[in-house]
Amino acid sequence: MIALTIAQIAHAVAGEVHLARADTLETAVSGAVDTDSRLIEAGGIFVAKPGADTDGHRFVDAAVANGAAVAIVEHVVETAPEAAVTQIVVPSAVAALADLARAVVTRVKAAEELRVVAITGSNGKTTTKNLLARILEGEGETVAPKASFNNEVGAPLTMLRVTEDTRFLVSELGASAPGEIARLAGLIDPDVAVVLMVGMAHAGGFGGIEATFQAKSELVRALRARGVAILNADDARVAAMAPLAAEREASVRWFGRGPAATDVRADDVVVTASGTSFVVTADGVSLALRLKVLGEHHVMNALAAVAAATALGVSLADAVARLETVEIAERWRMQPLGSDRIRIINDAYNASPDSMAAALRTLAQITGPGERTVAVLGAMSELGEYAEEEHDRIGLLAVRLGIQRIVVIGPDARRMFLEAVAQGSWDNEAVFFATADEAFVYLQSELRDGDRVLVKSSNSAGLRFLGDRLGESFS
């Protein structure tokens, strides 16, 4: 974080200061900010956030032991004498985290040449963020989220890593309810807004696909005046956000694979087990690109990254060269494991109907003659009233794609198994297990040379750990 005095921090978060030791209001603090006491380092700021399972106020002593210089708390914490620390008391630690992030980004944007990109969409946010960060790192210091730090806590923590030397801030903005993207985007006044797609992810929380559209469009509404909107020309709902960009006097860059993608487009797409090759055209210049990240659906994420990067002045040649160095999108996202004998694709960090369908299509595309497709599937979360219908659709799709073994795990995913059986996956082509441990025992004896195995579920189903176990077992 940039250096701020205790007085400046307190002003930013509207907090009441309780000084400790030799601190004064003019004492400068420049360490990293975190809500996890275990990650605090010397000079850092610990935000004591109450949580569902525990309360950060219990760990102020531990944060101080790790070097915390300031604690932002919701009430004064009595510490051991050796753990005395300046405390700033606020009504809400989470709100204070956001307020501090806004203050830091605003200061850096005012004083330095910092460009801010915000990315949202029902699927592809983390991959696009990583691809864009790889491109921009070649231009100057770039701050981007770790893993999927995209909520009311993770997004501000990323923003607070900005320093005077940071040239680019890439923010990934997720949401499970209306208004969340608007609040997060409002902290950073984005120069570039990227909207990838509007799909069924989190539809249960939003209340349907149209409400999801409204929520995702909050990012375009939050774009700074005369900024740039990067919009998916192939998604009718995303394309319908163009008038919102016009209200901000923002320019629009269209990306996609269809004729409406007038700025950045992909042609001649070829999908293999080692990646995807295509020709990318940006502003009339065409270059071949070989993306090592598995899955045809990641072509759109790469196009979005190219569209944003070129809007920021990066040449297409540099963007392509840097994208070709990316090995995987992120751990547990289309991550190749196992061996050439039995290939495991662990894509079980997140799942929605769109990403589940894309992963299954990829499995079918990359499996060659003499090889067998095996789909290990768990539940898709946050679908609300749409859960049964969407799980049925995935079971049907797996059968229609000719997936030869369908392994469904967990009671919340059982509808996929029942639908697969109803559609003709008989004679143990589709099997169901209540737990991942039971499925692991089955798969250890069932998998054979030439199998290509997809492990896919929402994070809450926990199948990413099953994917890791299978990868290690068959390495």
The verdict on whether residue 124 carries a ligand-binding annotation is yes
Whole-angstrom distance, CA of residue 33 vs CA of residue 47: 7
| Under 8 Å between Cβ of 297 and 358 | yes
Return all residues near 82 (Cβ < 8 A) that are at least 6 apart: none
Whole-angstrom distance, CA of residue 68 vs CA of residue 386: 45
The verdict on whether residue 109 carries a ligand-binding annotation is no
The verdict on whether residue 473 carries a ligand-binding annotation is no
The verdict on whether residue 123 carries a ligand-binding annotation is yes
| Under 8 Å between Cβ of 142 and 127 | no
The verdict on whether residue 126 carries a ligand-binding annotation is yes
Whole-angstrom distance, CA of residue 402 vs CA of residue 372: 10
The verdict on whether residue 120 carries a ligand-binding annotation is no
| Under 8 Å between Cβ of 200 and 354 | yes
Instruction: Write out the chain in H/E/C secondary structure.
Output: CCCEEHHHHHHHHCCEEECCCCCCCCCEECCCEECCHHHCCCCCEEECCECCCCEHHHHHHHHHHCCCCEEEECCCCCCCHHHCCEEEECCCHHHHHHHHHHHHHHHHHHHCCCEEEEEECCCCHHHHHHHHHHHHHCCCCEECCCCCCCCCCHHHHHHCCCCCCCCEEEEECCCCCCCHHHHHHCCCCCCEEEECCCCCCCHHHHCCHHHHHHHHHHHHHCCCCCCEEEEECCCHHHHCCHHHHHHCCCEEEEEECCCCCCCEEEEEEEEECCEEEEEEEECCEEEEEEECCCCCCHHHHHHHHHHHHHHCCCCHHHHHHHHCCCCCCECCECEEEECCCCEEEEECCCCCHHHHHHHHHHHHHHCCCCCEEEEEECCCCCCHHHHHHHHHHHHHHHHHCCCCEEEEECHHHHHHHHHHHHCCCCCCCEEEECCHHHHHHHHHHHCCCCEEEEEECCHHHCHHHHHHHHHHHCC
What token pair was written down for 399? 């059968």
Task: Give the angle subtended at the CA of 221 by the CAs of 220 and 224, to the nearest 5°.
Answer: 85
Whole-angstrom distance, CA of residue 125 vs CA of residue 119: 6
Whole-angstrom distance, CA of residue 358 vs CA of residue 348: 13
Binding site membership for ATP: which residues?
121-127
